[in-house]
Amino acid sequence: MVASEPIIDIHRLHVRFGQQQVLRDISLTVPRGQTLAIIGESGCGKTVLLKTIIGLVRPQSGYVDFDKQRVDQLSERDLAQQRTRFGFVFQNAALFDSMTVAENILFPLRQHQPKQQAEHKQRMIDGLAEVGLPTSVLTKRPAELSGGMRKRVGLARALVMQPEVLLYDEPTTGLDPIVSDVINELMMRTSANHSVTSIMVTHDMKSARKVADRVVMLYPLARLDPDEPQIIFDGSTNQIDGSADRRVTQFVRGEAGDRLMELRESKS
């Protein structure tokens, strides 16, 4: 298996909810082992793209190949099996409030691998150690943890299934700069230790620059002409600052730019 062989191949994807089109003609290939950051302002379809990759959202046209299988043509049973090859780290960790940390981490193992219970405890301990948390947190509930600790528990829960692909939805949102960098380091360590493919949706350019091999930027369809591509940048983190597209440079530098002019014009 060559390292550059794609594990995810997205073909001319179109997604709409009612009359609102969110993704238009998206084509994207993600090689095995790559860490891809998907950036863009709120409402451009980043999280919808993640959900479409794992079949939680069905496209109106186009399709996603995962490991050479079309996701939209899988039966519900086969789709559920394919999803066990993914780990999903949610924006707010999405832990079960009524469960302890141990129960949260063990949840996917008990759901998908009930016959391997003898291995569960060790995999839970290993996952916890990998994200740098002590075993003393196992009896705690999510409300007793800091935001950063909850994110790390969410990553540990994703890792216990030994996924081939990790999907991160805004992994550093709401965290202070130090804890954000801890999460960045954990993502990098995970990619190095497990050779997983990682796709990260983020607004955090510091995180994208540090963690990603490649950056793709989506733009909201409401702000594009009908013939304009929705992907307005696709390249390395080193290339993004030199982009000739002002929309890209304004986003990565956090500058209001043209948007401020639009606000002024709307008041005139």
- DSSP code string of 148-185: HHHHHHHHHHHHTT--SEEEEESTTTT--HHHHHHHHH
What is the residue type of 37?
A
% of the chain at pLDDT higher than 90: 71
CB 101, CB 153: distance < 8 Å: yes
**Region of poorest pLDDT, from 70-84, 109-123, 136-150:** 109-123
pLDDT in tens, 247-261: 999 999 888 766 665
What pLDDT band is residue 265 in, cutting at 50, 70 and 90?
low
**CA torsion, ordered 64, 68, 70, 76, to nearest 10 deg:** -120
CB 43, CB 223: distance < 8 Å: no
Alpha-carbon distance 254 to 171, whole Å?
Answer: 19
Note the pLDDT of residue 174. 84
Residue 123: pLDDT over 60: yes
| R_g of the chain, CA atoms, integer Å | 19
Note the pLDDT of residue 185. 94
Sheet containing strand 6-17, strands side by side? 20-31, 6-17, 61-66, 69-70
Residue 57: pLDDT over 90: yes
Q: Is the dihedral of CA 173, 178, 184, 187 positive or negative?
A: negative
Residue 66: its H or E element: strand 61-66
The more confident residue out of 265 and 241 is 241
Note the pLDDT of residue 206. 93
Closest CA to 38 of 189, 227, 215: 215
What pLDDT band is residue 1 in, cutting at 50, 70 and 90?
very low
Alpha-carbon distance 181 to 237, whole Å?
Answer: 17
Is 0.85 surpassed by the pTM of this model? yes
Average pLDDT for the chain: 90
Q: What sections of 71-116 are H helices per DSSP?
A: 76-83, 101-112
Residue position matching structure tokens 């528990």: 153
Closest CA to 213 of 60, 2, 35, 47: 35
What is the residue type of 113?
Q
Note the pLDDT of residue 2. 40
> 1-85+164-172+197-268 adopts what CATH topology?
Rossmann fold (3.40.50)
Note the pLDDT of residue 118. 77
Sheet containing strand 231-235, strands side by side? 86-89, 165-169, 197-201, 35-39, 214-218, 231-235
Q: How far is CA 267 from the centre of its chain?
A: 37
Extract the tokens encoding 57.
């959202």
Residue 81: pLDDT over 80: yes
Q: Is the dihedral of CA 106, 111, 117, 123 positive or negative?
A: negative
